[in-house]
Copies of this chain bind each other. A is one copy, B any other.
Amino acid sequence: MKIIVITGASSGFGALTARALAKAGHTVYASMRDTTRQNAPKVEEVKKFAKENKVDLRTIELDVSSQESVDAAIQQIVSENGRLDVVIHNAGHMVFGPTEAFTPEQLAELYDINTLSTQRVNRAALPVLRKQGKGLVVWIGSTSTRGGTPPYLAPYFAAKAGMDALAVSYAAELARWNVETTIVVPGAFTSGTNHFAHAGSPEDNVRLKEYESGPTANLAKQIMKGLELTAAPDADASEVAKAIVNVVDMPFGTRPFRVHIDPAQDGAEIVNAVADRVRAELLRNMGLADLLKPSSSEVAVKKAS
């Protein structure tokens, strides 16, 4: 039975995963912002779900864009349970449109929501996990980071690529503190999440109109049509939640570095396999092979003996 916090749990993967983990018997904090206003109905839904299913699923106010809010949430969880076992970085937001029509400020905002958010949560939670000498960090990445990608999603893809780089680095930096890392990599799910429906738009309308009237006049429509062509029609977002439950329930030290859930098979799984292989090779060549697994894991102990 683990104490788990997950960000961005008001909808999509986050909401599904929080429920699935609670059903698996864990104490789960479904964190979201604006619990008393915008997300008040979501809080009620969670309460109802917990009661009906007799599971320990709770909501907690946590705005990933505010260090103060993040700190308060993590402190509350630790004071209520005396520990925190699993952190799941899930909060994210998408935009759609020609890259040139997004302002640098919009790109900065996307990086903040998708990437700096994880840094705020890590700076609040990792001291707890490191002090415990045990913990798990799960990152919800994106196949876009390594797989084939359509245009017009660049600010989001750039932020997710940054988040993946942070995850990869943190994995090695936390290994000797006996904190384990798994990166869960979902492909494009065009249904079952609000990701596409809630996608933001470029702020520079003059530039947007240039792209909409020049040689790229039809491109936005063609991309949406192409996404339909290449999407897996039976893609089920709950598969991502199931994969996360599976990772959390594995014995410490045996969890995979990455798990892909990509019904559309955009190639990320193949590319990441090679990328993670050359990463392991480099760490070994640098004399840092122990960073590939948490220090108390069987593999790490075997290597050290």
Residue positions of A touching B, CB distance < 8 A: 67, 98-100, 102-104, 107-108, 111-112, 115-116, 119-120, 122-123, 126-127, 130, 144-154, 157-166, 168-170, 172-173, 176-178, 204, 207, 210-211, 214-216, 219, 222-223, 225-227, 229-230, 266-268, 270-271, 274-275, 277-283, 285-288, 291, 295
Contact = CB atoms under 8 A, between A and B. Distances in A.
Nearest to A65: B104
Contacts of A170: 99-100, 154
A149 B227 contact: no
Given A111-B162, A229-B286, 17 more contacts: A100-B123, A107-B119, A108-B116, A123-B204, A123-B207, A127-B210, A146-B146, A148-B279, A148-B280, A151-B173, A151-B291, A159-B162, A160-B165, A162-B162, A227-B286, A268-B278, A271-B278
A282 B295 contact: no
Given A108-B111, A158-B166, A274 B281 contact: no
Nearest to A204: B123
Given A116-B108, A176-B219, A285-B230, A99 B278 contact: no
A154 to B, nearest CB: 3
A148 B281 contact: yes
Contacts of A126: 100
Given A147-B282, A151-B173, A278-B148, A104 B130 contact: no
B267 A271 contact: no
Nearest to A157: B165
Contacts of A100: 122-123, 126, 170, 173
A164 B161 contact: yes
Nearest to A150: B286
Contacts of A123: 100, 103-104, 204, 207
